[in-house]
Amino acid sequence: MIPASPLSLQPVRWQALWRDAVRDPRELLALLDLPQLAAEISDEAAARFALRVPRGFVARMGKGDPNDPLLRQVLPLRAETRAVEGFGLDAVGDAQAKTGAGVLQKYRGRALLVATGSCAINCRYCFRRHFPYAEETAAREGWREAIALIRADASVEEVILSGGDPLSLSTAKLAELTTALATIPHLKRLRIHSRLPVVLPERVDAEFLAWLRALPWPVAVVIHANHANEFDAQVDAALSSLRNAGAMLLNQAVLLRGVNDDVDALAALSARGFAAGVLPYYLHQLDKVQGTAHFEVSDANAKRLHAQLAARLPGYLVPKLVREVAGDSGKRPLQ
């Protein structure tokens, strides 16, 4: 006889946590004892790009702190509705770099798949917040067009799963892609860009780890954390299991006014990441997309902060300060 599975002992599935995300700005403020911030919130901004934040991430925010660096990344503010000169819809030239459904090829040897438009969290500064995901995701129709393009282009050595957040897809859907990619001889590396190990660490479950372990290429997982407070014990556990499954872990952050634009915050981010097995990779200057101008840090300040960071930390804990410039052959270093 097969015993009934002990349902009560099963971990909460990540999909349930995903659905349970906070989506109402006023609920978020109530959870954080911050009713006074209601006046700063914009329903118009939230209607254009919804608030979405997993409850586990909310739990890492400080109660009663209107300047909490995690809160500032997700709160839809009135400031977003201001039109600011120089902040457009496609700041990084994605529309020109598209070579097929959901495939972006800007740099030699690398094909980036906009795997899906979904994310577990909506980051207000997101450079793809205006991206026309509905028509553009690579996952539709069983990844067929993306796979055909990569197969036909022998210069592609690395496939980058990006989005949206590629880990918002089911592991079965990811496996559908990698099973097909595994038949392409010129691929040498797989990279995954995901914020989920940080914002919804439960996503790194046994099924996902089994998939990761079985991949035929070396894998880099580039996580996305902007502040040391985004790490907690559960994030550490998820990152540690990713490493144990053979992935190289890197972090990319965005330099954001009011979130991490001081040298103590940046140094703490590098140190906290390293404690969790993650090396810093890029510190991005903000991409100038509409609705994000209030996060901007000037290039002069960015360079000064970066120099201070380099004077304080070992070289391997100093991320490269870069900006994406449409038409460049790679991310452009600021110096």
Ligand X SMILES: *Cc1c(COP(=O)(O)O)cnc(C)c1O
Nearer to ligand SF4 by C-beta: 126 or 212? 126
Collapse the DSSP code of 193 into the 3-class scheme (helix H, G, I; strand E, B; otherwise coil) and give the result: strand
Instruction: Indicate which of ligand SF4, ligand X, none lies near residue 333 (CB less than 5 to 8 Å, by partner kind).
Output: none
Distances (CA, A) of 303 to 223, 270, 280, 325: 23, 17, 17, 17
Q: How far is the CB of 141 from ligand SF4 (least distance, A)?
A: 22
Quickly count: other Cβ atoms within 10 Å of residue 261's Cβ. 18
Footprint (CB under 6 A) of ligand X, residues 94-153? 97, 104, 106-107, 110, 112
Q: Do residues 293 and 81 lie in contact, with contact meaning Cβ atoms separated by under 8 Å?
A: no
Instruction: Indicate which of ligand X, ligand SF4, none lies near residue 128 (CB less than 5 to 8 Å, by partner kind).
Output: ligand SF4
Distance from C-alpha of 309 to C-alpha of 261, rounded to nearest angstrom: 11
Q: Which stretch binds ligand SF4 (CB under 6 A): 108-116, 162-170, 227-235, 269-277?
A: 162-170
Nearer to ligand X by C-beta: 52 or 284? 284
Backbone angles phi, psi at 208, to 5 degrees: -65, -45
Q: How far is the CB of 118 from ligand SF4 (least distance, A)?
A: 8
Check binding of 330 to ligand X (CB under 6 A).
yes
Q: How far is the CB of 25 from ligand X (least distance, A)?
A: 30
Backbone angles phi, psi at 248, to 5 degrees: -85, 130
∠ CA 230-53-234, nearest 5°, is 40
Instruction: Indicate which of ligand SF4, ligand X, none lies near residue 54 (CB less than 5 to 8 Å, by partner kind).
Output: none
The binding track of 181-200 with respect to ligand SF4, each residue x by CB under 6 A or -, is --------------x-----
The binding track of 153-192 with respect to ligand X, each residue x by CB under 6 A or -, is -------x--------------------------------
Nearer to ligand SF4 by C-beta: 178 or 194? 194
Q: How far is the CB of 137 from ligand SF4 (least distance, A)?
A: 12
Q: Which of 255, 271, 250 is nearest to 303 (CA)?
A: 255
Instruction: Indicate which of ligand X, ligand SF4, none lies near residue 273 (CB less than 5 to 8 Å, by partner kind).
Output: none
Q: Which of 142, 132, 203 is nearest to 167 (CA)?
A: 203
Nearer to ligand SF4 by C-beta: 22 or 121? 121
Check binding of 250 to ligand X (CB under 6 A).
no
Instruction: Indicate which of ligand X, ligand SF4, none lies near residue 42 (CB less than 5 to 8 Å, by partner kind).
Output: none
Distance from C-alpha of 210 to C-alpha of 172, rounded to nearest angstrom: 11
Q: How far is the CB of 52 from ligand SF4 (least distance, A)?
A: 8
Check binding of 76 to ligand SF4 (CB under 6 A).
no
Q: Do residues 22 and 55 lie in contact, with contact meaning Cβ atoms separated by under 8 Å?
A: yes
Quickly count: other Cβ atoms within 10 Å of residue 2's Cβ. 4
Q: What is residue 120's DSSP assignment?
A: S
Q: Could you tell me where the beta strands, DSSP code E, fall in the chain?
A: 98-100, 103-104, 110-114, 158-162, 189-193, 219-224, 248-254, 279-284, 320-323, 332-333
Q: Which of 69, 100, 102, 164 binds ligand SF4 (CB under 6 A)?
A: 164
Check binding of 126 to ligand SF4 (CB under 6 A).
yes
Distance from C-alpha of 284 to C-alpha of 259, rounded to nearest angstrom: 13
Query: Footprint of ligand SF4 on this chain (CB under 6 A)?
Result: 119, 121-123, 126, 128, 163-165, 195, 224
Give the interface with ligand X as residue ranges (CB under 6 A): 97, 104, 106-107, 110, 112, 160, 330-331
